[in-house]
Amino acid sequence: MDPVWEPTGELWAHSNLSRILRSTGLDLDSFCRRAKDPEWFWDAVVADLGIVFDEPYTRVLDASAGIEWPRWFTGGRLNLATTCLDRWAAASPGLTALCWEGENGERRSLSYLDLRELSDRVAGVLAGLGVEAGDVVGLFLPMVPEAVAAFYACAKLGAIAMPMFSGFEAAPIAARLAASGARVLITADGCYRRGAVVAMKEIADRAAQLAPGLRHMLVVQRLGHAGVSVLPDRDVLWDEAVARQPAAFGTRSLDAETPVLLGYTSGTTGRPKGAVHVHGGLLVAVAKDAAYHLDVRHADRLLWVTDMGWIMGPWQIVAAGAMGATVLLCEGAPAYPRPDRLWEIAERNAVQVIGVSPSLIRGLAAADGEPVGRDLSALRVIGATGEPWDAHAWWWLFEKVGARRRPIINISGGTEVGGAFLAPLPLRPLTPCTLGGPALGLDVDIFGADGKPAAPGEVGELVCTAPWPSITRGLWGDRERYLDAYWRRWPGVWVQGDWASVDAGGFWYLHGRSDDTLNVAGKRLGPVEVEGIVAGHPAVAEVAAVGMPHRVKGEALWCFVVARPGRGQPGELAEELASLVAAHLGRAFRPDRVVLVADLPRTRSAKLVRRAIRAAARGLDPGDLAGIENPQAIDGIRAALAGG
C-alpha cells in the first residue's frame, strides 16, 4: 500500500525525535541503525530525556546471566518517582500534573507540587502500615487521582505496586493478593460505570475473606459514602490517614533493578501470569516510547483510554511524568452518557495525544460517536494499541478524528514487554493499519515455522533476538513458566505470540495472536483479515471471526456479528456476509456460519476476547473471565447458537 500520511514540517522542526537527531548529528536512517547498539542508544536516551540517576550506572547492559535474565543500568541508583514527579514539583511546581473527569461530571486537577505532596503523604501512610521496600501493595482502584498518588507512593517507598482491573469480582482479586503475598490493599468505596455504581469496597471485602494474608485496606472515598463498611483493625480511610501525615517523604534511592510494578495478565485457564518491572528499565523504556514514538512533549496533555489494571494504565502515568506532561484520567465508559463523550473531554482539555484501541473505535463508529462539531485543533498525535486494526475502523479514525492530518501511532507491546515492540516513528510515512517497524532499541524479527527469518509478505511469528530494558524480570514466583512461555521454542529468542508480516515497502503489520489464527484447509489466516471485510458492510456494527473444529477442513471459519438496527432479515444478512468474505478471500474461506448476536465479550479497554467466543461456541469452559467487562455476552452467544 502507498503511504496515506506524511510527516509534517512541524514534526520535523519540533518533535522529540528531531531533537535527538540534531543532538547526535545523525540522520533518521543512521539513528535507527545505531539504536541497535544498546550501550550507545539507551545511554543517549537517558541523557536526552534527563532521566535522573542518583548514582550513575557503570554499564548499560549486563547479559552475563543469559539473554533471558538481563540487568540494565548496572551500578546505577534512582527512583522512578524522582524523574516523573519530584523533579517537576521542584522545577515547575504549578505545572498541571493530572486532570480528572468523573462520569457524573465532577472534575479535579493537581499540580506537580500537589501530586508530590499527596504521594508523599500516602507513602507515609503505607510506611505506618508496615509496608517496606520489596513488599507488594495491591491497587484495586478506578481511574481517579488517588490511583496515581498510590502508584508513586509505592515507588517512593521501594514497594511494588500491583494494579488490578477495576471491574474485577472478588475471586481474581483474592487470587492476585494471595499469589503476590500482598498484605495491603488500596481500594475505593466505589465508582461510576455507565450510570451505575460499582461497589468496589464490597467486592474488596469479599476478596479479603478469600485472602487471609491481607492485613490492611486503605479506602478512598470516591463516592463519599459515610456508611461504607469499616473494620476497625483492618480498614483505614484515605482522607483521614493522609491528613495526619507530613507533606514531605524522602524518596528512596534504589538499585536500578529494584521492582516497581507487578502486572498480572489473564490466562485462558489456570493462574494469571505476573510480569515484574523494575525502576530503571520501565522508566527509561516508557520514556523512550512516549518521547520518540508518541511525541509526548513537555506540558502536553495525554489521555489514554485504559484502566489501571492494564499495562497502559501505569504506562501513561510514567509516560506523562517522564516528559513533564499532564495525564488525563476519565472515570467510566468513553461513550457514556453520550457517544461522543471521549471527544468532548479531549476538546475541553485541549488534549495533544490521545490513545485508543481498535475495538473502541469500532464501537464508536457503530454508535455514531464521531466528533461532529468538536474542536480537536490541539490534537497532534493519535496512539493506538490492543489488537490489530481492520481497514474500516482505521480509516474511520484517520478521517473522522485525524482529519487525515494526524498520524496514528499504532504500537504493539504487552504487559510482559512493558513498552512497545513495534511502533511507527512520527518522522516516517504511514500506511493504513501499519505498526511502522521495530520500536527503537529493539531487535525484532519475524520467523517462519523453521525458526528462520520470514520472507517479505510472509506471515510468521513476531520474535525478539536481544533484550530490552522493560522486559519482565521473569514471572512472579515461577521461573520455569517464564522460560516455557517465551524462550524455549527457539533458544535465545523471545516469542511474542503474535502473527506479523512486512510488506515490500518495509511496513510492518500484525495479524492477530498465534493462538487465534485460523487454519482452514491448511491455509493460515488472521481473524482481523476476515473481520475487516465483514466490518465494512453497512449493516455490521462489530464482528469476531474464530476457527471451529471441522472433520474435513481441520478448521472452519465462523463469524459472530453484531448488526446495526434495521438490518433486515437475519438469514439474508448472514448469507450476504458469507458471500462477501468468499468474494474477497476465495471460496475456501467462506464462513461455515455467520451468527448474529446482541453483543461480543470485551475487556474494559474494548479488546475482543476471541478465545471466550470460541469456547462458548464449542460448549467448553471459557477459562479466566475476570478481565471481561460484559460476561453476559457469552451467554448471549450460547443462546444465539441454541436458537439456530
| pLDDT one-digit tens code per residue, 435-448 | 999 999 999 999 99
> Which amino acid type is present at position 88?
W
Q: In this predicted structure, which of 34-43, 69-78, 256-265, 526-535 has the lowest mean pLDDT?
A: 526-535
Least confident of 332-346, 481-495, 620-634: 620-634
Please compute the mean of the pLDDT values over residues 114-132 and round it to a whole number.
98
DSSP 376: -
- Phi-psi sector, 325: left (phi>0), alpha (psi -120 to 50), beta: beta
Which pLDDT score is estimated for 607?
75
Helix axes 200-210, 170-180, angle to 10 degrees: 50
Q: Where are the domains of the chain?
A: 1-514, 517-642
58: cell is 557503570
Beta-carbon contacts of 443 under 8 Å, excluding residues fewer than 6 positions away, are: 36, 464, 465, 466
Q: How far is residue 223's CA from residue 275's CA, in Å, rounded to a whole number?
A: 32
Q: Which of 320, 9, 279 is nearest to 161 (CA)?
A: 279
Instruction: Assess contact for 277 and 160: CB atoms under 8 A.
Output: no
Q: Edge-to-edge, what's the strand order for the sheet holding 593-596? A: 540-550, 554-563, 593-596
For residues 119, 120, 121, 123, the Cα torsion angle rounded to the nearest 10 degrees is 90
Pairing between β-strand 71-74 and β-strand 59-62 as defined by DSSP bridges: antiparallel
Q: What rounded mean pLDDT belongs to the chain?
A: 93
Helix (H) or strand (E) holding 413: strand 412-413
Pairwise CA distance, residues 222 & 386, whole Å: 28
Q: How far apart are CA 487 and CA 460, in angstroms?
A: 17
Confidence of residue 269 (pLDDT cuts 50, 70, 90): very low
Instruction: Check pLDDT > 50 for residue 142.
Output: yes
* Helix ranges, 15-111 (H): 16-24, 28-34, 38-49, 80-81, 87-91
**The CA-based dihedral angle spanning residues 217, 222, 223, 229, taken in that order and rounded to the nearest 10 degrees:** 10
Q: What per-residue confidence (pLDDT) applies to 532?
A: 84
Q: pLDDT band at 267, cuts 50/70/90?
A: very low
Going by the DSSP 8-state scheme, the letter that residue 268 receives in this structure is S
What length is written for the chain?
A: 644
Backbone angles phi, psi at 577, to 5 degrees: -70, -40
460-464 and 494-502: which strand pairing?
Answer: antiparallel
Nearest to 559 by CA among 318, 569, 537: 537
Mean pLDDT of 116-140: 98
Check pLDDT > 50 for residue 268.
no
Q: Is 592 exposed, middle or buried (0-12, 13-18, 19+ CB in 10 A)?
A: middle
Secondary structure class of 68 (helix, strand, coil)? coil
Using the predicted structure, report yes or no on whether residue 133 has a pLDDT greater than 70: yes
Tell me how far apart the alpha carbons of residues 510 and 494 are, in angstroms, rounded to a whole number.
17
Confidence grade of residue 271 (pLDDT, cut at 50, 70, 90): low
Superfamily of domain 517-642: ANL, C-terminal domain (3.30.300.30)
Report whether pLDDT(111) > 80: yes
pTM: predicted TM-score of the whole model, two decimal places:
0.87
Instruction: Write down the architecture of domain 1-514 according to CATH.
Output: 3-Layer(aba) Sandwich (3.40)
Q: E strands along 107-205, which residues?
A: 107-111, 136-140, 160-163, 184-188, 191-193, 196-198
Comparing CA positions, the residue from 119, 449, 469, 124 lying closest to residue 288 is 469
Helix (H, G, I), strand (E, B), or coil: what is residue 28?
A: helix
Distance CA(425)–CA(135), nearest Å, equals 38
Find the helix or strand (DSSP H, E) in which 86 lies: none
**CA-wise closest residue to 147 among 117, 188, 192:** 188
Q: How many DSSP H helices and E strands does the chain contain?
A: 21, 31
Q: Which of 52-61, 304-313, 589-598 has the highest mean pLDDT?
A: 52-61
pLDDT, tens only, 541-579 = 999 999 888 876 778 899 999 998 876 678 899 999 999
User: Long-range CB contacts (< 8 A, 24+ apart) of 109-113?
Assistant: 110/145, 112/85, 112/88, 112/324, 113/89
Round to whole Å and give the CA distance between 401 and 388. Answer: 19
Q: What is the reported pLDDT for 620?
A: 85
What's the pLDDT band for 15 if we cut at 50, 70, 90? very high
Kindly report the number of other CB atoms within 10 A of residue 565's CB atom: 6
Average pLDDT estimate for 156-182: 93
Top mean-pLDDT range of 237-241, 355-359, 498-502, 619-623:
237-241
- pLDDT at res. 521: 61
Q: What is the dihedral of CA 55, 61, 62, 63, to 10 degrees?
A: 160
Q: What percent of the chain has pLDDT over 70?
A: 96
* 50: CB partners within 8 A, 6+ apart: 83, 87
DSSP state of 515: G
Query: CA torsion angle for 426, 430, 432, 435 (degrees, to 10)?
Result: -60
- Residue 238's pLDDT is 97
